[in-house]
């Protein structure tokens, strides 16, 4: 069996599972946020059940419109807050919260070998820890909150092998953008993407979270990494319960195996209006920008801010560009403060926000007007994703977003920082 099949078999009390089988799976963690939780709560109430199956395994995080931007968002957050407190769920209020997919690993709530479901498509982020994690609809979440189980079809696994040594400014964001550009938006439809190879082994945990996060942009059910010493170093200080490390069998059957030589991959940019519409920066042309966003559940971790600061330090954001930097959690914000990154950002002319999803989904903190262009470290650039349907979003790494903010156009970090 593959890594995903091993985890699903263990969680369905079966010796083996194979792609296409329909199974009932025990979950270790259930997640919802201030947009998706209200619907899940309403559906849970309709079931006529008084209590969730296990309050320690249900997590609610207000992150999309929090701090509340208007009355409707305040009402949504209030409904979630009251339900979480009534049920005794794991809940993070604004002063300790962050973007859900940043804080759950950070706080040791997701561990290797887990099955995690979330009412958010980017729940697949946790595959970086060797967990099977996937997004589901709010009604599925309501059912799981009541029973602790989910019903699903076992996905096939596509193995991606990354060989070689990447260039200086090539990160996990560039590798996943390149991959999505290669296989397309449906290239891994209802499949698990298993990331492996020497280049992946050398990636930091932050870059792995980025790659797993964007697996869904290729249509994947999950993105997953094998657990290695780097993973264990990350979880050992955070884990507050036992966990199991699973390994794929040597004779595991993969739907496909795709190999890449990362030494040939340049920094990538996804042009509007699809994450698969990628080009190397050398082929980007002269694209002026109005805004740069550095943050989100894709690239709002400390490594991302360190890289952005390396490019911005001692330089100035172009006077016609708004540069918005959003740490992924309060812990990331505090670490950035201790490292002097916040000072670097402000001196460069950027604005630093409290942790929030904010502009990624067109929520707030950076909505685009008609005709405006934004280079962003977020994960989607569909029509109207960040504001006006007549605006454009270009997806890139923190290094490229910072370089572009300085030069006022899509730019390679090499142009700015060598």
DSSP 53-84: S-GGGEEEE--SSTTT-SHHHHHHHHHHHHHH
Q: Which of 204, 228, 260 marks a domain boundary?
A: 260
Contact of 378 with 367, CB cutoff 8 Å: no
Phi and psi based region of residue 31 (left: phi greater than 0; alpha: psi -120 to 50; beta: remaining) = beta
The pLDDT of residue 382: 93
> Could you read off the pLDDT of 316-353 as tens digits, one per residue?
999 999 999 999 999 999 999 999 999 999 999 999 99
255 and 350, same structural domain? no
Residue 352: which CATH number?
Answer: 3.30.499.10
- Of 126, 135, 108, 155, the C-alpha closest to 225 is 126
Mean pLDDT of the 239-267 span: 95
Q: In the structure encoding, which two tokens stand for residue 251, read together?
A: 């004779």
- Of 327, 319, 320, the C-alpha closest to 398 is 327
The pLDDT of residue 321: 97
120 and 194, same structural domain? yes
- Of 107, 88, 101, 109, the C-alpha closest to 28 is 109
295 and 225, same structural domain? no
Q: In the structure encoding, which two tokens stand for residue 346, read together?
A: 């402000």
Residues 205 and 127: their CA atoms lie apart, in Å, by 11
- The domain of 112 spans 7-260
Q: Which of 260, 279, 313 marks a domain boundary?
A: 260
Residues 336 and 354: their CA atoms lie apart, in Å, by 12
Contact of 208 with 128, CB cutoff 8 Å: yes
Residues 188 and 196: their CA atoms lie apart, in Å, by 16
Residues 89 and 4: their CA atoms lie apart, in Å, by 28
The pLDDT of residue 374: 97
153 and 202, same structural domain? yes
- Any domain includes 19: yes
The pLDDT of residue 386: 92
| Cβ-based neighbour number of residue 15 at 10 Å | 7
Q: Is the pLDDT of residue 417 over 90?
A: no
- Of 300, 397, 408, the C-alpha closest to 358 is 300
Q: Which of 260, 293, 313 marks a domain boundary?
A: 260
For strands 22-26 and 149-153, give the pairing.
antiparallel
Q: Is the pLDDT of residue 418 over 90?
A: no
Contact of 191 with 155, CB cutoff 8 Å: yes
Angle at 339 between CA 212 and CA 417, to 5 degrees: 70
Angle at 219 between CA 217 and CA 221, to 5 degrees: 110
Q: Is the pLDDT of residue 85 over 90?
A: yes
The pLDDT of residue 97: 82
117 and 58, same structural domain? yes
Helix (H), strand (E) at residue 26: strand 22-26
Strand segments (E) across 272-372: 278-280, 291-294, 322-325, 351-352
Residues 139 and 47: their CA atoms lie apart, in Å, by 11
**Torsion angle, CA of 120/382/152/241, rounded to 10 degrees?**
-30
198 and 224, same structural domain? yes
Residues 91 and 78: their CA atoms lie apart, in Å, by 12
25 and 88, same structural domain? yes
Contact of 417 with 397, CB cutoff 8 Å: no
- Any domain includes 276: yes
300 and 239, same structural domain? no
Residues 350 and 322: their CA atoms lie apart, in Å, by 7
Q: Is the pLDDT of residue 186 over 90?
A: yes
- Any domain includes 381: yes
| Cβ-based neighbour number of residue 20 at 10 Å | 9
> Could you read off the pLDDT of 349-397 as tens digits, one per residue?
999 999 999 999 998 999 999 999 999 999 999 999 999 999 999 999 9
Residue that is written with structure tokens 């042309």 in the block: 285
Count the domains in the chain.
Answer: 2
77 and 36, same structural domain? yes
- Any domain includes 1: no
> Could you read off the pLDDT of 97-154 as tens digits, one per residue?
899 999 999 999 999 999 999 999 999 999 999 999 999 999 999 999 999 999 999 9
Contact of 175 with 162, CB cutoff 8 Å: yes
- Any domain includes 151: yes
> Could you read off the pLDDT of 254-308 as tens digits, one per residue?
999 999 999 999 999 999 999 999 999 999 999 999 999 999 999 999 999 999 9
384 and 299, same structural domain? yes
Residues 109 and 393: their CA atoms lie apart, in Å, by 32
């Amino acid at each position: 069996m593959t890594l995903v099949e091993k985890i699903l078999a263990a969680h369905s009390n079966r010796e083996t599972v194979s792609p296409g089988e329909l199974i009932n799976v025990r979950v270790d963690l259930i997640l919802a946020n201030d947009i998706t939780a209200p619907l899940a709560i309403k559906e849970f109430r309709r079931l006529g059940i008084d209590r969730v199956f296990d309050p320690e395994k249900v997590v609610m995080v207000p992150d999309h419109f929090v701090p509340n931007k208007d009355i409707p968002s305040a009402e949504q957050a209030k409904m979630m807050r009251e339900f979480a407190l009534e049920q005794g769920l794991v809940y993070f209020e604004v002063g300790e919260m962050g973007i859900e997919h940043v804080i759950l690993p950070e706080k040791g709530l997701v561990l290797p070998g887990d099955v995690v479901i979330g009412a958010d498509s980017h729940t697949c982020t946790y595959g970086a820890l060797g967990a099977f994690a996937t997004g589901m609809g709010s009604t599925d979440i309501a059912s799981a909150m009541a029973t602790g189980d989910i019903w699903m079809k076992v996905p096939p696994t596509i193995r991606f092998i990354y060989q070689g040594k990447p260039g200086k400014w090539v990160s996990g964001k560039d590798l996943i953008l390149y991959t999505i550009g290669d296989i397309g938006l449906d290239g891994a439809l209802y499949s698990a993407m298993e990331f492996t190879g020497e280049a992946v082994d050398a990636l930091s945990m932050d870059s792995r979270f980025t790659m797993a996060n964007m697996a869904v942009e290729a249509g994947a059910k999950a993105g997953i990494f094998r657990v290695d010493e780097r993973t264990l170093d990350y979880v050992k200080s955070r884990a507050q319960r036992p966990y199991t490390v699973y390994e794929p069998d040597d004779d595991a059957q993969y739907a496909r195996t795709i190999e890449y030589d990362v030494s040939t991959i340049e920094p990538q940019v996804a042009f509007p209006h699809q994450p698969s519409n990628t080009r190397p920066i050398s082929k980007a042309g002269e694209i002026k920008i109005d805004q740069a966003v550095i943050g989100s559940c894709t690239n709002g971790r400390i490594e991302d801010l360190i890289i952005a600061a390396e490019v911005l330090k001692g330089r100035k954001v172009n006077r016609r560009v708004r540069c918005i930097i959003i740490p992924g959690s309060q812990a990331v914000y505090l670490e950035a403060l201790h490292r002097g990154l916040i000072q670097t950002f402000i001196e460069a002319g950027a604005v630093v926000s409290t942790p929030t999803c904010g502009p990624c989904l067109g929520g707030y903190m950076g909505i685009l007007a008609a005709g405006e262009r934004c280079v962003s470290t977020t994960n989607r650039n569909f029509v109207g994703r960040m504001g006006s349907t007549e605006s454009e979003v270009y997806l890139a790494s923190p290094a490229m977003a910072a370089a572009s903010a300085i030069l006022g156009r899509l730019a390679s970090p090499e142009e700015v920082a060598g």
